[in-house]
A and B are shown apart, each in its own frame.
Chain A
């Protein structure tokens, strides 16, 4: 039953919700770039890395959840394409069919986000895009640690990289504008009275993530976040 249409929709929704939880926490952590001192985010990053077992358990869990999400969505989307072999010669009006742009571009937005995640991990986690990041060290209260703060500033000083991050965050907005509202439908929690609240809430969540994540490269480019 997990493999049925609805079973897979539940898998996509649960995995999507867990990923939303992750991005919300991640974005909140990033906002420490605004703390006024580099120490705050550096200490936070140091803390996250001080228990490798927990860190790796978390990473593997997240990879598993992502894999489930992608497997579910791709298998559903392939069936959907097969179920509609011919589109209409004339497209109906949007006002009549009420289909949103964000909902028809889920596979595209999701795929670009996936590509972004891979780049992001190579960029700031594996630090192979620019080898100099790995040797950026600082000390807080006498403890030596990686200087995440300056690494981020250096990373976003490159306008191509900042631009790509912004595009990806725009697509994350688009994906979650539809996805976050969809979770309620898949869980059977959407009803007449709640539709507006859910739709507006999903928009606000997606926009908050876009602004929260996106403001950092913008802030660096504008010189508001400085070493």
Chain B
């Protein structure tokens, strides 16, 4: 099979970017999207041209590196899948695909499809942790947690920090990511002592990083490869208000 690609090329942070077109030929429909990018890059290298820079690591949908927008859809056409888990059989033979980096002011392009997502790290550093004294590991089951709560906390903890939510949002809002991180700790007993402070600090860091504001359109939830629910954003809104009122 073959595909026509229009790929965003940008030399560096300050450089002007533009689309370049490539013909990807001799593809197997069972190749992953990243494998196709490897084929394209091999060709480019053979021709003595600069390969397309893109991020990838695990290639099994758990690390969140493989950020690409395919035809305006972060992580491509399939629900609940990262770019590395998108296979060419999802496309038509001969289709034209436009491949772009995440677009958001808080995620500046570093090169081609690679963006700087360290704004997420700043949000985590602001409060996405629990403070514990070091020492022996606690006894298993010393702190009982109901099955339901454990499952829910785990649903939120599934977030892999890929940033597709920001990429999909017309407002470049990071609220799905931040809500997932605020909530997975906020659901558990270990997270309670810092619960109020955590949500306030993480939201402040999110605002400072230049992300937009949620306007309840839920494109984030639709593209999230881990299908994190937008209900977490509601929970964060509530947690934030409760903690703000308590602080008065």
**Interface, chain A (partner B; CB < 8 A):** 1-2, 4-10, 76, 79-80, 82-93, 96-100, 103-104, 106, 178, 181-182, 184-192
Give the 3 A-B CB pairs with smallest separation, nearest first: A188-B238, A83-B212, A92-B72
The A/B interface has a contact count, at CB < 8 Å, of: 146
Interface residues of B in 19-43 (CB under 8 A from A): 19
Given A98-B222, A99-B217, A104-B217, A87:B103 Cβ within 8 A: yes
Given A88-B100, A90-B98, A91-B72, the answer on whether A80 and B236 have CB atoms closer than 8 Å is: no
B215→A103 contact, CB < 8 A: yes
Contact of A184 among B104, B210, B222, B234 (CB under 8 A): B234
**A–B pairs, 14, beta carbons within 8 Å:** A5-B213, A6-B203, A10-B237, A83-B212, A89-B19, A89-B100, A93-B71, A97-B73, A98-B218, A182-B215, A182-B216, A184-B234, A187-B234, A188-B241
Q: Is A188 a contact partner of B103 (Cβ separation < 8 A)? A: no
Q: A76 CA to B172 CA in the complex, in Å? A: 12
New contact pairs (16) apart from A1-B240, A97-B73, A185-B230, CB-CB < 8 Å: A5-B206, A5-B214, A6-B236, A10-B237, A79-B212, A80-B212, A80-B215, A83-B171, A84-B169, A84-B212, A89-B72, A97-B219, A98-B218, A98-B221, A104-B170, A186-B234
In the complex, what distance in Å separates the CA atom of A10 from the CA atom of B74?
Answer: 29
Contact B72 A90 (CB under 8 A): yes
Interface residues on B, range: 35 or more
Instruction: Find out whether the CB atom of B105 lies under 8 angstroms from the CB atom of A82.
Output: yes
Q: A80-B172, A83-B105, A84-B170 are in contact. Are A8 and B213 (CB under 8 A)?
A: yes
For residue B247, which residues in chain A have a CB less than 8 angstroms away from its CB? 1
Chain B residues near A189 (CB-CB < 8 A):
234, 238
B231 within 8 A of A: yes
Give the chain B neighbours of A6 by CB distance below 8 A: 203, 236-237, 240-241
**Nearest residue, chain A, Cβ from B231:** A191
Q: Is B85 an interface residue (CB 8 A)?
A: no
- A191 / chain B contacts, CB cutoff of 8 Å: 231, 234
Q: Which residues of B contact A84 (CB under 8 A)?
A: 103-105, 169-172, 212
B207 contacts the other chain (CB 8 A): yes
B106 interface residue (CB < 8 Å to A):
yes
Residue of B at shortest CB range from A183?
A: B216
**A61–B170 alpha-carbon span in the complex (Å):** 33
Decide if B69 is an interface residue (CB 8 Å cutoff).
yes
Closest to B174 in A: A83
